[in-house]
Amino acid sequence: MPLNPDSPLAKLMATLPRAGKVEWIGLRPARDEIMVATDTVEAVTGGGLVGDRYKGGSGKRGITLIQAEHLPAIAALAQRPDLVPSLLRRNVVVSGIPLIALKERRFRIGDAVFEGTEECDPCSRMEDALGPGGYNAMRGHGGLCARIVEGGRFRLGDAVEAL
């Protein structure tokens, strides 16, 4: 059941006084391939990111984001001090704004507008990427899926702002 927008809890959940920042961008060129880091990317309305294997109309999972602040927790839980963002199979690493607060909300990165659709739960591939226990290390830290509402370019260092 949706919250009453006038309730104190709804008002608290809508309070995001600071913008976040794009720390890393990665693309999956094909299934089972290592993610490729990039400095800038084009988001396609209703689709995905140009150069990513999910570019063609992936709907509510047009882009995946993960919280930079969660990477040390995942690294510790997976016992992987060498953890790099590409292992986690998310497109964008964001710092400074709680991604969960963007679920069911619109937000802007660079020239593009997104809508947070659902939490991005880990998949069984995390066992291969992080080793035994990798799946559980990511539970609760998997990030956010979003659909692309308005396409456009964004780059490293761009602000992530709730609309």
CATH topology of domain 17-162: M1 Pyruvate Kinase; Domain 3 (2.40.33)
pLDDT of 150 > 80? The answer is yes
Evaluate whether 122 touches 142 at the Cβ level (below 8 Å).
yes
* Tokens of residue 113, six digits: 């507008």
As a whole number of angstroms, the distance between CA 80 and CA 90 comes to 17
In the prediction, which pLDDT does 141 show?
95
Q: What is the pLDDT of residues 104-142, one digit of tens each?
A: 999 999 999 999 999 999 988 899 999 999 999 999 999
In the chain, % of residues over pLDDT 70: 93
Write out pLDDT tens, residues 19-30: 999 999 999 988
